[in-house]
Structure 1
Amino acid sequence: MTGLLLPETDPWGDAGLLHLPVTTAAEPAEPQSLRSFIAEAYPRYGFHRWAELLIELLQAVADGEISRLIVTCPPRLGKSLLVSKLFPAYFLQRYPHLFAAIASYSAELAYAHSREARHFYRVTGHLLARDSAAVGNWLTRQRGGCIAAGVDGPFTGKGYSLGIIDDPYKGPGDAASPAMRQKLIDWLRSVWLTRAEPALVLGPDGTEQPNLSAQVVVLTRWDHQDVIGWLYEHELGEAPQHWTVLDLPAIAEDPFDRPKLPPTCTLIPDWRQAGEALCPERFPLPELLKIRARLGAYWWAALYQQRPSPASGSIFLRQWIRPPFPREEAGAAAGRQRLYALLALSCDLSFKGEAESDYCGFCLAGLLAPPARNGIPRSGESQGPMAPAALEIEVLWAARHRFGLPEVIRFLLGCLEALEQQCLRPHAVLIEDAANGPAVLQTLRRRVPGMLPITARGSKEIRAHAVAPLVEAGQIRFHHRAQPLVEEAIRFPKGSKDLVDAFCHGALWLEGRYWKAQGIQPVVTPLLVSR
């Protein structure tokens, strides 16, 4: 009878109900390391150099040696797998009576991280509580567990000892929006931080003792005033948190070129020489250079080098402005000029006829036709899809005026007549379908062929960032008659913005038509990164 109650022969493990002595397995002398846990939970994990360094820091968080950790790194590196999926599972197998919390820009993404953390917890032999195993709120048998929510969602009823914020911004629009930034900060203050366990508690003898209470923030930088900028700003206040910072640019830079952190922060040194790739196993240096050329200086610095700069003076640089493309074709008669496959007259209209009203901006840009061949039509003639060729856009002319509605109508009609006489009839007249644009569209729709309403997507700054890589790469050139636009673009977004916005609308429309002619479906907004 008693043999059935021995631990090794008791299938229910409930001999303690009969008040009989129960032996338990001896606790291991040392807890399992995070690295060995990862190797067990995810055997295919690639322990690259950057990951080894981050694993060491996360281990220090789990051991109570670091309580505040910031990680900034490029997209598609694998940061979420390590920080938001594997690490919470490890933390809870170390401390199954405590809680970990995961927050991201959406509840769906936070739940996805929590689901994976639950999987890694279970696959390593740890059991969940029978009464709570949902992906957004699951418990261990010791009544600790994991909770997840979006950055605007509730964390009601529970505190946490480990808080992880992973990518709190959905994209550049959120990160650059003062309203969205303030909404996140309000949520951090009123919800997130109020659920954190205290860093100090009273021990049995009444003295203060350190308590496990850690915060880990991991993200790709979008804007210099994002949550990382906010945290750094508060380090200069009365209650610094003494963050440990792992800053991982895609291509190593000289330490003197890196942003300076507040003196209360500890920056982990970069192990690389300047010019070395962060993770050549996934993104070798030649691939990173291609990405840099595609994104342009502003987004490359923010997303990949983790040093976002203020937009002022950083979108269009003077050294990017180049003269028109060479006009003489190789092998053609002297003076033979390339023709425009498409011409667009883009207008940014805001008028009251008053001195204090905004300017109306007008910009004429053309997409150069492929190199001369037999049968290339003249500008303005009917033509089929273009043959594959490089994307080359020239801005021929730009002007701004303070007009009322009658003056805008007369000016547009006069411009179109003058362009017609120069064989530069626009294929499209683009009018932003906002502000005063609808009034012009309604008045001129039947008199001006090719007039198109354009829906503005995102802010003027977002559209400028979409066009800037083309200017930097030399795919957009400027005639001397576009000098007012050039001067405004260099100052943008300070000062007037009407010419830049008209220019961006036209450039994006021409670029979209170009890709469509190549058989590629154009996108409304540029695809910068994919998480």
Structure 2
Amino acid sequence: MRCSRAEAAGPVHAGAIEAGDFKSFAGIILAGSGQTPAKHHVALIDALQRVACGTVDRLMVQMPPGAAKSTFASVMFPAFWLAAKPRAEVIAVSHTASLAEHFGRKLRGLIAEQGTGFGLTFEANSRAATRFGVANGGQYFATGIRGPITGRRADLILIDDPIKTWAEADSRVARDAVYDWYRAELLSRLKPGGRIVLAMTRWHEDDLAGRLSRHDGDWTELRFPALAEAGDPLGRPVGEALWPEWETTTSLLRKRASVGERVFSALYQQRPIGAEGRVFEITGLTVAIDVPPVVRTVRAWDLAATVAVGRRDPDWTVGLKLGLLADARLVVLDVVRFRAGPADVDRIVLETAREDGSATTISLPQDPGQAGISQIVHFKQRLAGFNVVSSPETGSKMVRASPAAAMIGSGQLFVLDRAWTPALIDEIQAFPDGDKDDQVDALSRAVATIAALPTGSRMVRHTLMGR
């Protein structure tokens, strides 16, 4: 992918690289040092190319330590930006001034060694690692989080690892300070049409990446766990190492056993979990491509009826389909998840029932009072011909989730590897401290419903056809 002429900022080097072509730039830089990019590097280069072209103006990169995200995002990319865009201004931020200086020195070294081939040379007497200019009028300024940036402006803001320690990550005061500084000071330095790249290793559900994901939905996210999970963006099989030439699966598993699940899940899997209070032991959850025939199925619903508008973050309506195998194991076969008003909820529930077929039991929650009774009567009328069961929700969410958690912990419940799987696993792992629990509620209801259904003559055996 190359930028169109309208998106391009002028030639990187006459007759060498077409305007805005970071891919070619990175290829030349890597070839000069005898390096070959791994799959995740190629994906990162592609994402940064879109930033260069302007098709992405907010990029969030989440990778484990040692994945070389900084080499591309904080060294190569600002070098390209300064070469490609005359009079460009770059602000680079890291958790401390010393780390910012470290990246600045690497950038200076790259420019000194290979910059002349792209028409990139330093201004006279521009020698500082954290502040220098280039001959085409570009300026680079690096600082630590909450460092002085008054008077600076930027076409490109680079934020690389804004968290230094677990103590900072676990401190609400420290997290608030970083987020407030980003909003009130750093963001105000961005020129109209400017772009931001956040490259970090995750530490906490509420770290800068977590907050921006929740409160600013305009980010393009690139997340690569050290060990592949279901729906891996690189197409890796589950459990495969991100960069085996650097660190093998065996080495990562040994590290996982050493550092503990919380540290490994955050720093290596880019999936932070809380320090305590987790209900589900996610290591017991298996992801499978195919399943044997099931003997019965249930579609359990957690109902909401609010449309997402603007930056509102309403609950989801979720319909989770659970299958029972002959050996008493359970498998999540499908998840329907959407936000819509009452009429669309009604329509989608009916459409889903038709797709599942009459052999699938439909389980609905009954809200308290007459309104809840009326809603169930309405759905049963709409779903005439299907086996519909309903019951009020009793007990706390954690109590209701306990049977499903026990099944997962014992390896008796697994999920199919589908497009919906990562979001389901994310929510299961974050429960009960995550922002949403609609899928967990649906899973809890499905497990309880299958356990309560009668056996014997009513058991229907059919082969899973999928959706």
In structure 1, which of residues 30, 39, 63 is the aligned counterpart of residue 18 of structure 2?
30
Give the match for residue 393 of structure 1. none
1:434-458 Cα deviation digits (max 9, x unpaired): xxxxxxxxxxxxxxxxxxxxxxxxx
Once residues 161 and 234 of structure 1 are traced to their aligned partners in structure 2, the CA distance between those partners, rounded to angstroms, is 23
Give the Å deviation of 1:60. 1.2
Structure 1 segment 92-491 matched on structure 2, within 5 A? 92-124=82-114, 125=116, 126-199=120-193, 213-235=194-216, 240=217, 242-255=218-231, 269-314=233-278
Give the Å deviation of 1:315. 11
Letter matched to residue 224 of structure 2: L
Kindly indicate whether the alpha-carbon contact (under 8 Å) linking 2:17 and 2:25 is maintained by their aligned counterparts in 1: no
Give the Å deviation of 1:316. 12
Once residues 140 and 17 of structure 2 are traced to their aligned partners in structure 1, the CA distance between those partners, rounded to angstroms, is 26
Change (3 A) 1:30 1:275: same
Give the Å deviation of 1:172. 1.0
Once residues 182 and 299 of structure 1 are traced to their aligned partners in structure 2, the CA distance between those partners, rounded to angstroms, is 21
Once residues 17 and 38 of structure 2 are traced to their aligned partners in structure 1, the CA distance between those partners, rounded to angstroms, is 29
Once residues 79 and 26 of structure 1 are traced to their aligned partners in structure 2, the CA distance between those partners, rounded to angstroms, is 29
Give the Å deviation of 1:34. 2.6
Once residues 29 and 308 of structure 1 are traced to their aligned partners in structure 2, the CA distance between those partners, rounded to angstroms, is 40
Give the match for residue 74 of structure 1. 64
Give the match for residue 423 of structure 1. none
Once residues 39 and 27 of structure 1 are traced to their aligned partners in structure 2, the CA distance between those partners, rounded to angstroms, is 16
Change (3 A) 1:314 1:64: same
Letter matched to residue 201 of structure 2: T
Change (3 A) 1:184 1:26: closer
Give the match for residue 430 of structure 2. none
Give the match for residue 461 of structure 2. none
1:341-382 Cα deviation digits (max 9, x unpaired): xxxxxxxxxxxxxxxxxxxxxxxxxxxxxxxxxxxxxxxxxx
1:281-307 Cα deviation digits (max 9, x unpaired): 111111111111111111111111111
Give the Å deviation of 1:118. 2.1
Letter matched to residue 171 of structure 1: T
Give the Å deviation of 1:275. 1.8
Give the match for residue 320 of structure 2. none
Once residues 75 and 67 of structure 1 are traced to their aligned partners in structure 2, the CA distance between those partners, rounded to angstroms, is 25
Kindly indicate whether the alpha-carbon contact (under 8 Å) linking 1:90 and 1:121 is maintained by their aligned counterparts in 2: no
Change (3 A) 1:286 1:29: closer
Give the match for residue 373 of structure 1. none
Give the Å deviation of 1:37. 2.5
What's the secondary structure of 1:129's corresponding residue? coil
Letter matched to residue 162 of structure 2: P
Once residues 50 and 298 of structure 1 are traced to their aligned partners in structure 2, the CA distance between those partners, rounded to angstroms, is 24
Aligned residue pairs, count? 269
Taking structure 2 as the reference length, what is the TM-score of the superposition? 0.54
What's the secondary structure of 2:123's corresponding residue? strand
Change (3 A) 1:275 1:29: closer
Give the match for residue 28 of structure 2. 40
Taking structure 1 as the reference length, what is the TM-score of the superposition? 0.47
Aligned Cα root-mean-square deviation (Å): 2.8
Letter matched to residue 305 of structure 1: Q
Change (3 A) 1:29 1:251: closer
Give the Å deviation of 1:28. 5.8
Change (3 A) 1:243 1:27: same
Letter matched to residue 296 of structure 1: G
Kindly indicate whether the alpha-carbon contact (under 8 Å) linking 1:298 and 1:315 is maintained by their aligned counterparts in 2: no
Letter matched to residue 187 of structure 1: W
Q: Which has the higher helix share?
A: 2
Once residues 38 and 246 of structure 1 are traced to their aligned partners in structure 2, the CA distance between those partners, rounded to angstroms, is 18
Letter matched to residue 192 of structure 1: L
1:26-47 Cα deviation digits (max 9, x unpaired): 6667237334333433423331
Aligned-residue identity in percent: 35
Structure 2 gaps, min length 5: 1-12, 285-432, 434-467
Change (3 A) 1:79 1:111: same
Letter matched to residue 232 of structure 1: S
Structure 1 gaps, min length 5: 1-24, 200-212, 259-268, 321-493, 495-531
Give the Å deviation of 1:121. 2.2
Give the Å deviation of 1:179. 1.1
